[in-house]
Structure 1
Amino acid sequence: MWLASRSLPTTVLGSVCADGNDGSDGALAVHGQASCCLGFVDLRDLEFSYQFPKDSEKRTPLHVAAFLGDAEIIELLILSGARVNAKDNMWLTPLHRAVASRSEEAVQVLIKHSADVNARDKNWQTPLHVAAANKAVRCAEVIIPLLSSVNVSDRGGRTALHHAALNGHVEMVNLLLAKGANINAFDKKDRRALHWAAYMGHLDVVALLMDHGAEATCKDKKGYTPLHAAASNGQINVVKHLLNLGVEIDEINVYGNTALHLACYNGQDAVVNELTDYGANVNQPNNSGFTPLHFAAASTHGALCLELLVNNGADVNIQSKDGKSPLHMTAVHGRFTRSQTLIQNGGEIDCVDKDGNTPLHVAARYGHELLINTLITSGADTAKCGIHSMFPLHLAALNAHSDCCRKLLSSGFEIDTPDKFGRTCLHAAAAGGNVECIKLLQSSGADFHKKDKCGRTPLHYAAANCHFHCIETLVTTGANVNETDDWGRTALHYAAASDMDRKSKTTLGNAHENSEELERAREVKEKEAALCLEFLLQNDANPALRDKEGYNSIHYAAAYGHRQCLELVSCFVLSCFL
């Protein structure tokens, strides 16, 4: 998206050692003296074959002299054997350097000595690209007659015109157009020079390009127009110019987003105000059903945008394809002041998405205490069932948000209310692995003996997820380590059978399953499981207990390949018979 495309990667010109001395910064001292060595020594008088040194970036004295624009030193170095087309680490030649410093005289000397005007750096940028990016018009005038085409593209598919437009160099753009630059040339993302000029807010370049026939409605591969580009980056003057030319204000990209969507997402309130004044559809849904109001509700800097949309008739209760209202979006991202604005303007507090979650469920899931407070104060129902019939308190406990749990408990919610599977908030806290939540719930009267519909206690959940400190807390407060569920399994069975591979992948996200990181994470989880087993065994858990299928904890440790757990349980069983 245009959100992340802040600038074109122009040639990195770096810095050079201008004062020489001992070269302690990585550049040889001779480089710094390149511009002042005349009168001290004439390299042509040396009787041996002089080997020109290079610094740590492979820049030669000729690179430095070219960058400093010292034509006399350049001439001297070349006549003394310096390679005119030598390349540094970035494949920049002295001609690239001379152009970057806008030294026409240096460029002429280098070209006189057969400098390659088509030389490319590692980004495939030629001296003309560098000239365009650095406003080196006079240098470009010297180079262009020697080129077969001014439309050569760099690694990103960008021509010199792209670079000139991006950097707002009107005179350079004029020169390139006069010399045959393709005004509709596109880069590898199908972006024209007009896209980049609009994105950077160079109104004079935008006007010049359009006067020469640039298409105001051109689209890149993702369907972004110049209006999208300008709106996303807050370029109000360009936006006004394009609107005055009559471009389609509600044109969508491949995601269904209009310029108003992008302006709201990026918090460009001046652009939002301009677009709404021009009649942009404030309720236009994108491909996912999200309107500009959803984007304003979610974005980091969208508070004023949201107010502008609401004041211009945006539907505060419109829902996306997955059922999320703008209030849900504020709950996801914790925008509590915006939630207040929506509620004050008729936002439905207990509206549900396709999973049955209200904004309160969402705020609890993501741990936004201030937003929870706003919703509860405004009358949100804390006893409304959401996904899997869980309550907001379940979600806060499951995701280890103790402050949110405290806030929800203060609203008077019955602490042992089960979801449709019979799980209480203490089951959720044990599964989530947060000791602080468990202690808070216990101190608030939660029953740690409560079983779900399968007969499992919170201790079973803590053991299944290898949460050692949760197991320790529950056992210390009186949880029965040999309590069985409906299948006859104890916490020891669950700890021995915990799925290490799943937990490792959850820990590392999308890490490759064969990666070293995944293996290390698996080892850590297995150690945690062993720690849980050891604690349970030390607290009188019976390793010989068999479930209804006849399996004990040794069977489960062996079945799931937990070597440490298997050794630990086996040794404990053996010691019982000695």
Structure 2
Amino acid sequence: MVEGENSQLLLRLVQEGRLDLLRDELRRNDMLGPSVRSQRYGRLEETLLHHAARYGHQDVLAYLVEELGMDFEAFNSDYKRPLHEAASMGHGECVSYLLERGASVDCLKKADWTPLMMACTRQNLEVIKVLVEHGANPLLKNKDGWNCFHLASREGHPHVLQYLLDVSPGSWDTESTIKRTPLHTAALHGCFDAVELLLERCQYKPDSRDKCGVTPFMDAIQNGHVNVARLLLEKHQACPTAVDALGAQALHRAAITGQDEAIQFLVSELGVDVNERTTSLQLTALHYAAKEGHVHTIQTLLALGADVHAKDGKSRSALHVACAGQQADAARLLLRVGLQDTPDGTGLLARQLARKPDVIQVFQEMNIST
């Protein structure tokens, strides 16, 4: 093995692309050559080839392969090959060189990612084209069931999606292991242009559900992407009151994530009932906001007409839920707007809150006995 300072010097020269100095260093010490081929660096046990590919130094890559005889199919502890590194960083010359030398185009790293999948996390269409032209299969899936089209949808690059549809027209018709489509993914990440393209060129069913019953519209709403939600309503006939596997609507999911603008959109523009309950536990959006401690969302819901006295299927008010979740600020707000439990109810809350002095203090501030 290459030892100490020599090892780190060689690594630095490779990372900086200093081919002349690298060649000179190895010429000065003929004994280093054989050791360099097997030298590994860092926690992931990477070769110099991995580093040359990652930093995009094609001339260094060629020298290591052709002059030192390093194995371009060497993998690190994550089973990542130099081709994965070059593809993931968008280094087209390195990708082309490795493929021309015979690198396996669909080699798999940990979690079954191919170089093409990694290339699709970036906007470099030329790298994607090179991989496809050398036989990369766009339909392969990783361990989560995502193919390249899924990944490009997450990144929101319409030109990459257009190309993938051109070379592999069926690549859109895919679901992950939990039944999420690329449309779910694009909506979740707020990729408006990608969603628009998917609605134009693909045949996704309106309100398709993943294993949790979540629709693309719900994904957009719960992440605050109102523009994407509008698009799904206008061009895909999405249902704003569809329910997930737990009986929750987009309104409830927006309350969980504290998306006030989305809540305003649902209630004020679409006419969704602010006091709508889940079909399972009979929870309102106010219950969810209280549980999460989203004071600003509680204020938004109250301004829209949320019933502060509404009880869920277990006769719990939003105040009960806030207290059970140790949400002092939410409890303070709910008390201030006029919610007063019966003495028995207040006693129950006090017992629930015995471990949280700052929440008990809220009741003391309001002169409510605990």
TM-score using structure 2 length: 0.86
State the alpha-carbon separation in 1 of the partners of residues 363 and 131 from structure 2: 63
Residue 412 of structure 1: which of 249, 271, 280 is its match? 271
Number of the residue aligned with 2:12? 163
> Which has the higher mean CA deviation after the structures are superposed, 366-375 or 237-246?
366-375
The residue correspondences of 1:416-565 to structure 2 (distance < 5 A) are 416-419=275-278, 420-482=280-342, 490-498=345-353, 526-527=357-358, 529-536=359-366, 538=367, 541=368, 543=369
Deviation at 1:244, TM superposition (A): 1.8
Q: Does 1:353 align with 2:353?
A: no
Number of the residue aligned with 2:46? 191
**Distance 1:159-1:445 versus aligned 2 partners, 3 A rule:** closer
Number of the residue aligned with 1:217? 73
User: Does structure 1 retain, via aligned residues, the 8 Å contact 2:158–2:197?
Assistant: no
State the alpha-carbon separation in 1 of the partners of residues 354 and 197 from structure 2: 45
Number of the residue aligned with 1:377? 234
Gaps of 5+ in 1: 1-148, 484-488, 501-524, 544-568, 570-578
Residue 107 of structure 2: which of 239, 251, 268 is its match? 251
Amino acid at match of 1:162: L
Number of the residue aligned with 1:399? 257
Amino acid at match of 2:312: D
Amino acid at match of 2:99: L
Deviation at 1:224, TM superposition (A): 1.0
Deviation at 1:396, TM superposition (A): 0.7
State the alpha-carbon separation in 2 of the partners of residues 328 and 459 from structure 1: 34
User: Does structure 2 retain, via aligned residues, the 8 Å contact 1:267–1:303?
Assistant: no
**Distance 1:312-1:408 versus aligned 2 partners, 3 A rule:** farther
**Distance 1:470-1:209 versus aligned 2 partners, 3 A rule:** closer
Number of the residue aligned with 1:305? 160
Number of the residue aligned with 1:239? 95
User: Does structure 2 retain, via aligned residues, the 8 Å contact 1:350–1:380?
Assistant: yes
The residue correspondences of 1:252-401 to structure 2 (distance < 5 A) are 252-299=108-155, 302-313=157-168, 315-346=171-202, 347-378=204-235, 379-401=237-259
- Rg: which structure is higher? 1
Gaps of 5+ in 2: none
State the alpha-carbon separation in 1 of the partners of residues 23 and 297 from structure 2: 66
State the alpha-carbon separation in 2 of the partners of residues 214 and 302 from structure 1: 35
**Structure richer in helix, relative to its length:** 2
Deviation at 1:468, TM superposition (A): 4.5
**Distance 1:240-1:471 versus aligned 2 partners, 3 A rule:** same
User: Does structure 2 retain, via aligned residues, the 8 Å contact 1:318–1:325?
Assistant: yes
User: Does structure 2 retain, via aligned residues, the 8 Å contact 1:463–1:532?
Assistant: no
**Distance 1:477-1:169 versus aligned 2 partners, 3 A rule:** closer
Amino acid at match of 1:437: T
For residues 85-121 of structure 1, the C-alpha deviation after alignment (integer angstroms, 9 at most, x for no partner) is xxxxxxxxxxxxxxxxxxxxxxxxxxxxxxxxxxxxx
Number of the residue aligned with 2:56? 201
State percent identity of aligned pairs: 25
User: Does structure 1 retain, via aligned residues, the 8 Å contact 2:323–2:352?
Assistant: no
User: Does structure 2 retain, via aligned residues, the 8 Å contact 1:185–1:193?
Assistant: no
State the alpha-carbon separation in 1 of the partners of residues 214 and 119 from structure 2: 28
**Distance 1:309-1:163 versus aligned 2 partners, 3 A rule:** same
State the alpha-carbon separation in 1 of the partners of residues 86 and 22 from structure 2: 19
User: Does structure 1 retain, via aligned residues, the 8 Å contact 2:221–2:262?
Assistant: yes
Query: Comparing both chains, which one has the higher relative contact order based on Cα–Cα distances under 8 Å and sequence gaps of 6 or more?
Result: 2
The residue correspondences of 1:99-138 to structure 2 (distance < 5 A) are none
**Distance 1:467-1:173 versus aligned 2 partners, 3 A rule:** closer
**Distance 1:387-1:532 versus aligned 2 partners, 3 A rule:** farther
Deviation at 1:171, TM superposition (A): 2.4
Deviation at 1:492, TM superposition (A): 4.8
Deviation at 1:219, TM superposition (A): 0.9
TM-score using structure 1 length: 0.57
State the alpha-carbon separation in 1 of the partners of residues 192 and 16 from structure 2: 39
State the alpha-carbon separation in 2 of the partners of residues 493 and 322 from structure 1: 40
State the alpha-carbon separation in 1 of the partners of residues 8 and 328 from structure 2: 60
Amino acid at match of 2:357: E
Deviation at 1:160, TM superposition (A): 4.2
Amino acid at match of 1:207: A
For residues 149-176 of structure 1, the C-alpha deviation after alignment (integer angstroms, 9 at most, x for no partner) is 8x2245xx94544333222222233334
SS of match in other structure, 2:186? helix
The residue correspondences of 1:87-106 to structure 2 (distance < 5 A) are none
User: Does structure 2 retain, via aligned residues, the 8 Å contact 1:349–1:380?
Assistant: yes
Aligned-residue CA RMSD in angstroms? 2.6
**Distance 1:475-1:316 versus aligned 2 partners, 3 A rule:** same
**Distance 1:166-1:471 versus aligned 2 partners, 3 A rule:** closer
**Distance 1:207-1:415 versus aligned 2 partners, 3 A rule:** same
State the alpha-carbon separation in 2 of the partners of residues 535 and 414 from structure 1: 33
Deviation at 1:222, TM superposition (A): 0.8
Deviation at 1:403, TM superposition (A): 0.6
